[in-house]
A and B are shown apart, each in its own frame.
Chain A
Amino acid sequence: MTEQELINKLNDFKQIKPNKDWANWLLSNILLKSHQEVMIKPRVKLVSFSFIHQYQKALVSAAFAVLFASTFVFAQTTLPGNPLYPVKTLTQTTRLFLTPKDYKPVVRLEIAKARLSDMAKITDQEQTIVLMSQNIKKDLQTIPQELKNISKKQVTLKMSKQVQDEAKDLNNIISKTQLQSQDKDSLNQTVQDTQSQVLGLIIDTQEEIDNCPSDLKDKLANLQKYFTDNVQTLVQWPIDDITKVRTLLADISNDIKAGNCLEAMVKIDSINQILQIHSLDIKVETSTPEN
């Protein structure tokens, strides 16, 4: 077959045509589709992960939270020298900062003890050990003062006893550290001083609590008797004053039970002032108990 014959044969393929009905139907179907319907076509995208875009912000926040929490948790097991140890100390400092004033001494001692335990586990960081021991000393010296600053005697006594228990094995931990004997002695001395001060505080507070009721109870009884005997007079008082006196009497009773003598005395004075205002000739003893 020559080239021309072949081309002629190929030309015969022009008789091939699609079915006219089908051609018309196809055109009308394509054109009938609205703009939006025609737009529907498969698009390549990660369908299975499409929710990521929807919850992107929440997922990023969650990822950061998990990362932060993991770091935080892991940091609690670290020792001085580890890059995450500052996270641990920061956590301890934050905990101390957030603790209510009355509980600070106990928490401070717990943290000092934990740092002392960390210190006992490291061997090759002399400078760090010395620095840590100095900070622990400061903490221990602060504890008695913080205990004294607690306003309620009952709480002071309770916290002091907790500190006393907590401080029992401090010397044992110190002995395990790699501090030089001179520094060890110094730290032991600080621990002993603290323990002594706390013990002194326990004894004093206990005495205060024990002595308090004998003096104040009489004053409270006198006041209660007066108001019982003079009910007719009280009827003329404003309702606010009556309520205030009742509240103060109840508080005084509770303060005496809790060993808060000073507070009880201040409240007795308040009641006396109210009585004076109403020009009553009743004298109630307000002398300060001898403590």
Chain B
Amino acid sequence: MTEQEFSQFYKNNLDKVFRFIYLRVDKIETAEDLTAQAFLKCWQTNNDDSRMAIQNPQAFVYRVARNQIIDFYRQKNKTPVSLEELKEKGIEISQKSFVFKIELSFEMENLKKVLQRIKPAYSEVIIWHYVDNLSTKEIAQIINKNENNVRVLLHRALETLKKQVNKGV
């Protein structure tokens, strides 16, 4: 992947990946950190000649993002993933420059919390399919399952989410 191709890929996928991460963590800063790491990893892997070329960059970056989230929750009680890690990798952070807020309605905040409460596998497929508009085929490529499995998973995930939301209401 050339720089130009990577830039295009970055522009096409940044919002989706950021959203996917943000809906599964609490803070914007954390979402930024994890998103940056996911794309950086993608670029590093792309430049590493010893590895095979990335066949499906979108699936790859989502897979990395997914693992970053898992690591984040695993290490949350120890050392949180911080901007320092990016700094160590040569990316200087100017924290005051990018402070911004994402305003969500009370209802949407609640829905986000419910998404974080249900099984990670369910929230993942819901975000990918209904928020990021990924097809079942694309999701299947990310989680290495066939499309039927994804459809079943989606159905169960939506049922679970609906129950949880209605329970809250």
B106 within 8 A of A: no
Tell whether, in the assembled complex, residue B39 and residue A26 are in contact, meaning their CB atoms are under 8 Å apart: yes
Q: How large is the interface on A (under 10, 10 to 19, 20 to 34, 35 or more residues)?
A: 20 to 34
- Total interface residues in chain B, CB < 8 Å: 45
Bound complex: CA of A22 vs CA of B19, how far in Å? 14
Contact of B47 with A38 in the complex, beta carbons under 8 Å:
yes
Q: Which residue from A11, A19, A30 sits with its C-beta under 8 Å from B39?
A: A30
Instruction: Assess whether A9 is in contact with B100, with CB atoms less than 8 Å apart.
Output: no
Contact B97 A21 (CB under 8 A): yes
Determine whether the beta carbon of B98 is less than 8 Å from that of A9. Answer: no
Nearest residue (CB) in B for A36 is: B47
Q: Is B53 an interface residue (CB 8 A)?
A: no
Q: Do A14 and B131 form a contact, CB below 8 Å, given A1-B166, A9-B108, A38-B43?
A: yes
Bound complex: CA of A225 vs CA of B64, how far in Å?
108
The verdict on A23 contacting B14 (CB below 8 Å), with A9-B111, A11-B131 known, is yes
B92 nearest CB neighbor, chain A only: A29
Asked whether, in the complex, the Cβ of B43 is within 8 Å of the Cβ of A30, the reply is yes
Q: Are B108 and A18 in contact (CB under 8 A)?
A: no
Q: Is the interface of B mostly helix, strand, loop or mixed?
A: helix
Instruction: Determine whether A7 belongs to the interface, using a CB cutoff of 8 Å to chain B.
Output: yes
User: What are the residues of chain A within 8 A of B32 when measuring CB–CB?
Assistant: 18-19, 22
B165 in contact (CB, < 8 A): yes
Neighbouring B residues of A10 by C-beta, 8 Å? 111, 126-127, 130-131
Least CB distance from B123 to A in Å reads 11
CB of B91 within 8 Å of the partner chain: yes
The proximity string for B residues 10-31 relative to A, scoring 1 for CB distances below 8 Å and 0 otherwise, is 1100110011001100000001
Within 8 A of A (CB), among B105-146: 107-108, 111-112, 126-127, 130-131
B126 to chain A, nearest CB (A): 7
Per DSSP, chain A at the interface is: helix
Note all chain A residues with C-beta closer than 8 A to B31. Answer: 18
Closest to B126 in A: A10
B152 part of interface (Cβ distance < 8 Å):
no
Q: B60 on the interface (CB 8 Å rule)? A: no
Asked if B10 and A6 make an inter-chain contact with CB atoms under 8 angstroms apart, the answer reads no
Q: Which residues of B contact A40 (CB under 8 A)?
A: 89-90
User: Quick check: is A45 within 8 A (CB to CB) of the other chain?
Assistant: no
A283 CB to nearest B CB, Å: 97
A21 CB to closest chain B CB (Å) equals 6
A42 to chain B, nearest CB (A): 9
Pairwise interchain contact B98-A21, C-beta atoms closer than 8 A = yes
Whole-angstrom distance between the alpha carbons of A25 and B32 in the complex? 12
List the B side residues contacting A31 at CB < 8 Å. 3, 6-7, 43
CA distance A108 to B37 in the complex (A): 78
Contact A26 B36 (CB under 8 A): yes
Give the complex CA separation of A14 and B14 in angstroms.
Answer: 12
Judge whether A6 and B90 touch: CB under 8 Å. no
Q: Does A17 contact B (CB under 8 A)?
A: yes
Given A1-B165, A21-B97, decide whether A27 and B7 contact each other with a Cβ distance below 8 A: yes
Bound Cα distance A39, B44 (Å): 6
Q: Assuming the A-B contacts A30-B91, A38-B43, A40-B90, are A13 and B166 also in contact, with contact meaning beta carbons closer than 8 angstroms in the complex?
A: no
- Give me 18 A-to-B residue pairs in the complex whose CB atoms sit less than 8 angstroms apart, sorted by A's number: A1-B162, A9-B111, A10-B111, A11-B130, A17-B19, A25-B94, A26-B35, A26-B39, A30-B36, A30-B39, A30-B40, A33-B90, A38-B40, A38-B44, A38-B47, A39-B44, A40-B90, A41-B44
5 closest cross-chain pairs (CB), A and B: A22-B98, A10-B130, A18-B18, A13-B131, A19-B100
Q: Contact residues of A with B, CB < 8 Å?
A: 1, 3, 6-7, 9-14, 16-19, 21-23, 25-27, 29-31, 33, 35, 37-41
